[in-house]
Structure 1
């Protein structure tokens, strides 16, 4: 339905409407009879007619954000959703007044001019122009000066005159303008539709329009713009309590903690027990400084009668390692909500910092016995026992929880996994077979039944279970195990057939299947075939880094130096911080030149990563040490090799590290250490068992 078509219908029914019809009846007629897109008027009609329900409303939840334009950030003071706010605050726009002198119904109008020519009599009776007629002038000439494009800075010393507000707020919202806005939004002209809604929100009795405008702003504008709009509107309607909640939430989300503190303080003065939980959803800052600013904002607020505020304070204090102060606030919250499971578990988290594990368990167990039907308390105690290596007691508690919550799949699965860990395979199988009757958990049940069979060395049974897994996040791991079983039986063709079937069923795993197939070919000594396979796969998936890296790994460091260097440099350009790429490139450089400055710098940088750094990886660290040791060995710096690898070999022994150490001791002529290390290598890795006498010479 086009703008001109709508205008034609408006003009067609305008004379009738001027005599006796209400604007809302006209809107209802237009929305029901014109060939417009289905349900595009639903949000508007909900704004104008609180009792309105769309044709498909019976099939949709009342809090569907696609219908009313709201989202999860819309907050109400009592914790209800946006629909309940709208229903509680909506006022149907009154467009009719009675002319007592004339004795007939007349429509109250507020606009400066009419779309249809008026007689002299009509001009006398219609002293106010029609509020439902939206002048066909540019928006900027409507006398509504709220600017949605220019984002103005938030001024904490707010007063009404400092805001960009409509010139005339005496008019009621224009139905024609709101229809125009909905059409604009439906056509994809989102910015224009929001601008119209924001302008209309500043008219008289426009609370429902404000709700719709803010919902649209939350969906399409940035947080700062939504905050500016909500703050401007709230300043003109200082007694509208839900607007306080909107402003508080948006201020917290925008990290405007001064405004947030002022608004929260106002809410708490109005109602010390106000439910702030909805305000606090989604506002927890990521940056530490923002977290500190938030805590500084909340600390002066009186939370003695507000559990949600006390909990937030306690959580922030715990974050900053102030458990004693956090405990005071969480105890305050528990006085108000003694049976609130998240608050109980928060106190347990705080107690971990203050008392022994046994005391924490005593507290959480007491709470569980007091509230025996709260699953969260069972799960907390079970996980805490597992963390403290009390697997048996955790298992017993899991079985007890399974009896109490017989049909709870989460508890059944956790009980099965713990049963596997403590080798109670019969109990694990029983639980998993029960879980398999739930379609949602069928694949997980098959996967862990396969694990159970594998640990009991029933490989054929395990293979059947793993082949039955079809859940995308488990299927790759399951098929890898099937391939491993086939290779144990030296059934290479079956292993490759499994991989081909995998990429046929799940194309997303095709690159992984090609890499595994190439590795099988490499193990069979068919390096050329493996390279050819990966080359074809790379042509099919040119942007897949894993394929490119696997191909580079198959290339020889010396014979294929130029090609391998090109591939690795390309991968490093894609992800310069990838330590695996860095190690491979360093190995390539050091293999061709043991004194390569770039190779030594790359390995040295990896070794210098501290263990508490998120980038630290123990295997990468050891690989880098091996590279440095290999370079030193080439330069006959035997003492350096020993210095690099002696301690790491004791902590995490590997064959490569052991062989490098062995050759270093041999170079120094330390026969005693050679004998000790050789015996250890033979015991750990069956090193040189076929030719012990020549083992030193071979390596």
Structure 2
């Protein structure tokens, strides 16, 4: 076997393959030199098969310079690019172009590496040369490299590329990649303009239709996106991706029945595609077609696809159908997923509904030991259960343990503050809320809670007013803050301001606590019938409201 054939054999059976479009040059006729080269390249390829890429690259780079062979140099460039050795790739690509400047792939390889080095002007010169050699060359590296650039660098890259768009206007890949760069840069209007040009002059160029539709959909221009998708489906009939996007856009536009019809159409064509079955099931669920949704989710379970999602929504369906035991089985079958924490909350609620308080708490504690990533959430969950089951001392104990592990967790601090309020531990409440405010000065919830607590106890009223006014400045439309401000004005004897704010709060959020406050202010100002009307209305909605009943008892009022 000749030296040339030996080298060709190595390159043909190499695990990292690439099309160079050029034959390797003849090696030197010196026999010893040829054998050394053959041996070095054979070692390199065996190293590559064993994923010893540094060794493979080192040998190829050495032989590239020793042999000055473009095929070997192309292979060195490929390996360097594959393992992300940017400087080695740049050096190898530079040599490749020197040895084989008429090869468009060599020019593209060097152009790509120069982009990584932010040498955009040089990069465009080599890209231009590649396009002269092959005007329809695929240049997808343009947008791929753009993903890794900073916004400023990407803008410079775009500026240097722009002249090529008119120079090589027939190169669809070039125009599309420039459009993709604009989309990465947030220049969506410019990206769409290029896509529209491609769609007009090259109507069969699929990527332009797809990018145009995706940009519009991501910009919440759902009607416009749907229009593009419908036109695309005329061009690419029954295309699965566009049909799926159509269904999702119909959901965004609240055309749920039409969306379901499209998903059903897709499921007939591809009955076992989980990416069709899941949105179909969710659409059926949204339409309250519970039995149909159950069958579709069950099919996903049978296919062993999206099992966590299927179990979660089957649990929701069973809960809706009052089958709490069946729901529990599905929730407990989940192992992970976006809905996993929601499922744990649902499990706890089912246990509480069945008056299995200890079981609920044990489940939370077990989860805390298993799911370490969400440990703080399980502390909050346990505190909530203890509060709901009237165990404030136990809730305080759990709160203390949670805060010892997560001292700056704002939710944990707030939870303990609310437990402290129930236990009359004002100093603990104030310390926790002040801690939240120190690390988050714009936390309107903590500011409002601290101000309201002082106002409700009728102490340090000016300080209470200051806290609540700070909260209102941050979140002026929050009815809870309006309620607190109205309540502190009542404590300060500013009844007109109090009534105005409480009326506004009650109109936005007519809950029992606001009703109790508004009714008491009205009663105190002699507007007894108005007060009774407010209280009656609130009691109809919440007949067991403790704050309403306590207010009526304290004022000795019989409705």
After TM superposition, the score normalised by the length of structure 1 is 0.62
Is residue 332 of structure 1 aligned with residue 164 of structure 2?
no
> Does the 8 A contact of 1:314 with 1:330 survive in 2?
no
Residue 79 (structure 2) aligned to one of 212, 217, 235? 212
**Equivalent residue, structure 2, for 1:429:** 294
1:494 and 1:198 map into 2 onto residues whose CA distance is 66
Shift in Å, 1:438: 1.6
**Equivalent residue, structure 1, for 2:387:** 522
State the Cα deviation string for residues 356-381 of structure 1 (Å, max 9, x = none).
97786465335436544422111111
Residue correspondence of structure 1 range 45-194 to structure 2 within 5 A: 49-51=10-12, 62=15, 83-85=17-19, 91=24, 94=27, 97-98=29-30, 106-108=31-33
> Does the 8 A contact of 1:603 with 1:627 survive in 2?
no
1:201 and 1:647 map into 2 onto residues whose CA distance is 80
Query: What stretches of structure 1 of length at least 5 have no aligned partner?
Result: 1-21, 26-45, 54-61, 63-67, 69-82, 99-105, 110-130, 133-171, 609-617
Is residue 322 of structure 1 aligned with residue 227 of structure 2?
no
1:405 and 1:680 map into 2 onto residues whose CA distance is 55
Shift in Å, 1:417: 0.7
Residue correspondence of structure 1 range 278-677 to structure 2 within 5 A: 278-281=141-144, 283-284=146-147, 293=156, 295-302=158-165, 304-314=169-179, 319-320=186-187, 322=189, 326-327=192-193, 329-333=195-199, 335-336=201-202, 338=204, 340=206, 342-348=207-213, 361=226, 364-365=229-230, 367-368=232-233, 371-503=236-368, 505-537=370-402, 547=412, 550-556=415-421, 560=425, 563=428, 576=439, 583-584=445-446, 587-588=449-450, 591-592=453-454, 593-596=460-463, 599=467, 603-604=471-472, 606-607=474-475, 621-641=478-498, 647=504, 649-663=506-520, 665=522, 674=531, 677=534
Is residue 694 of structure 1 aligned with residue 552 of structure 2?
yes
2:414 and 2:23 map into 1 onto residues whose CA distance is 61
Shift in Å, 1:528: 1.5
Q: Say what the alpha-carbon RMSD is for the aligned residues.
A: 5.0
Partner SS for 1:265: helix
Shift in Å, 1:534: 3.6
1:633 and 1:584 map into 2 onto residues whose CA distance is 21
**Equivalent residue, structure 1, for 2:457:** none
Partner SS for 1:490: coil
State the Cα deviation string for residues 547-597 of structure 1 (Å, max 9, x = none).
555445433399645555655666677xx45965x6325633664444449
Residue correspondence of structure 1 range 6-45 to structure 2 within 5 A: none
State the Cα deviation string for residues 176-202 of structure 1 (Å, max 9, x = none).
9x99xx99xx999x9x99999878866
The verdict on how the C-alpha distance between 1:444 and 1:360 changes in structure 2, with shifts beyond 3 A counting, is closer
Partner SS for 2:302: coil
Partner SS for 2:311: helix
2:473 and 2:319 map into 1 onto residues whose CA distance is 41
> Does the 8 A contact of 1:201 with 1:213 survive in 2?
no
> Does the 8 A contact of 1:538 with 1:548 survive in 2?
yes
State the Cα deviation string for residues 74-107 of structure 1 (Å, max 9, x = none).
xxxxxxxxx325x76795994x634xxxxxxx52
> Does the 8 A contact of 1:487 with 1:495 survive in 2?
yes
**Equivalent residue, structure 2, for 1:269:** 132
> Does the 8 A contact of 2:331 with 2:344 survive in 1?
yes
1:622 and 1:198 map into 2 onto residues whose CA distance is 70
> Does the 8 A contact of 1:511 with 1:541 survive in 2?
yes
After TM superposition, the score normalised by the length of structure 2 is 0.75
> Does the 8 A contact of 1:173 with 1:201 survive in 2?
no
1:264 and 1:360 map into 2 onto residues whose CA distance is 33
> Does the 8 A contact of 1:514 with 1:537 survive in 2?
yes
1:523 and 1:607 map into 2 onto residues whose CA distance is 28
Partner SS for 1:299: helix
Shift in Å, 1:420: 0.7
Residue 241 (structure 1) aligned to one of 77, 100, 104? 104
Higher share of residues assigned helix: 2
- Return the structure number with greater relative CO, CA threshold 8 A, min gap 6: 1
The verdict on how the C-alpha distance between 1:673 and 1:454 changes in structure 2, with shifts beyond 3 A counting, is same
1:691 and 1:544 map into 2 onto residues whose CA distance is 34
The verdict on how the C-alpha distance between 1:591 and 1:297 changes in structure 2, with shifts beyond 3 A counting, is farther
1:228 and 1:669 map into 2 onto residues whose CA distance is 86
Single out whichever of 237-246 and 393-402 deviates more from structure 2.
237-246
> Does the 8 A contact of 1:364 with 1:377 survive in 2?
yes
The verdict on how the C-alpha distance between 1:517 and 1:259 changes in structure 2, with shifts beyond 3 A counting, is same
The verdict on how the C-alpha distance between 1:407 and 1:365 changes in structure 2, with shifts beyond 3 A counting, is same
> Does the 8 A contact of 2:112 with 2:145 survive in 1?
no
Single out whichever of 372-381 and 500-509 deviates more from structure 2.
500-509
The verdict on how the C-alpha distance between 1:628 and 1:569 changes in structure 2, with shifts beyond 3 A counting, is same
**Equivalent residue, structure 2, for 1:681:** 538
2:194 and 2:244 map into 1 onto residues whose CA distance is 25
2:120 and 2:517 map into 1 onto residues whose CA distance is 59
Shift in Å, 1:396: 1.6
